[in-house]
Structure 1
């Protein structure tokens, strides 16, 4: 074992001090980590709200957006917003038809089936829960009139791209 010298003792003390300072710094970082993690989690969870706050007009704003994968293509990206004043100025009762079209379990199931790729009345008729062709057409006609479905070509229905994200927003809002 080497004999202690003043230089060696100083070097050992310095190394000991550096180790203790490093440990204290690590403890300080660990103590701050939960607060930083909570702040990051908040920013990550409310990223859209944080971005909106930077642009919100004086009378407030409601915005919805979404990115929805589309089979065989680029994801559908959609964003829409209105000021609170615009929304308050609407005749809310005039929107009843659009909402009513979604207010029936069979129509919601039809939309879900169409979204999943079932495109024709013949395909929909194969599923007993949708009823007869006449019943299916009744529900489809209401969904078409409200803009939730479009007839691409004779008997082939799709949810129009500009209504897919809004539909998912309505479903998300209904889920709460």
Structure 2
């Protein structure tokens, strides 16, 4: 990304942070509705940018720029048109989503993102379970692509960091 585009992105993020701060602790902005033709560009800058590029009936994007506590950096985006998503079979994503459906697996992923990378370190987490249970969950996460095994170390693949965090964010809704 060139310096000019990076500066513009930093300015947009700063503007968004100012709006969030002004809202005195509000975690999310209100969802846009069809009765809101003039969306606030300081709040909905990403949505407005997507709308300017996507033809009707629209599109969906997952995008993020992340520096994890373990020092990993991920800048990633994926988009798809609404028609393509609605016409596609969703069965193919069930295994990947199901792997996130267990609270221990989510805790393991969070700990890996924080820098615990070996099975031994992960079994030392209080309340995580026995070593056999931890290995079972690590295998499930690895098979689904949320983790990668590098010898005795596990990592969240850089291409999975942003999808993982946006899935968790969506689950907060």
Please tell me the TM-score bracket, short chain as reference: 0.7 to 0.9
8 Å CA contact 2:60–2:81 kept in 1: the answer is yes
Equivalences for residues 1-176 of structure 1 within 5 A: 42-70=40-68, 75-152=73-150, 154-176=151-173
What's the secondary structure of 2:138's corresponding residue? helix
What's the secondary structure of 1:68's corresponding residue? strand
Runs of 4+ with >3 A deviation: 70-75
TM-score if structure 1 supplies the norm length? Answer: 0.72
Equivalents in 1 of 2:122, 2:163: separation in Å? 23
Unpaired runs of 5+ in structure 1?
1-40
Instruction: Tell me: CA distance 1:168–1:125, structure 2 relative to 1, closer, same or farther (3 Å).
Output: same
Displacement after TM superposition at 1:93 (Å): 2.3
Displacement after TM superposition at 1:94 (Å): 2.4
* Corresponding pairs, count: 136
Displacement after TM superposition at 1:81 (Å): 0.2
TM-score if structure 2 supplies the norm length? Answer: 0.73
Q: Deviations over 1:12-53 (max 9, x none)?
A: xxxxxxxxxxxxxxxxxxxxxxxxxxxxx9211111011111
Displacement after TM superposition at 1:72 (Å): 7.9
Equivalents in 1 of 2:73, 2:111: separation in Å? 19
Equivalents in 2 of 1:119, 1:74: separation in Å? 12
8 Å CA contact 2:60–2:82 kept in 1: the answer is yes
What's the secondary structure of 1:77's corresponding residue? strand
Equivalents in 2 of 1:156, 1:74: separation in Å? 14
Instruction: Tell me: CA distance 1:70–1:115, structure 2 relative to 1, closer, same or farther (3 Å).
Output: closer
Higher RCO (Cα < 8 Å, 6 or more apart): 2
Displacement after TM superposition at 1:77 (Å): 1.1
Task: Answer 1 or 2: which has greater helix percent.
Answer: 1
Bigger radius of gyration, 1 or 2? 1
Aligned-residue RMSD, C-alpha: 2.0
Instruction: Tell me: CA distance 1:133–1:169, structure 2 relative to 1, closer, same or farther (3 Å).
Output: same
What's the secondary structure of 2:42's corresponding residue? helix
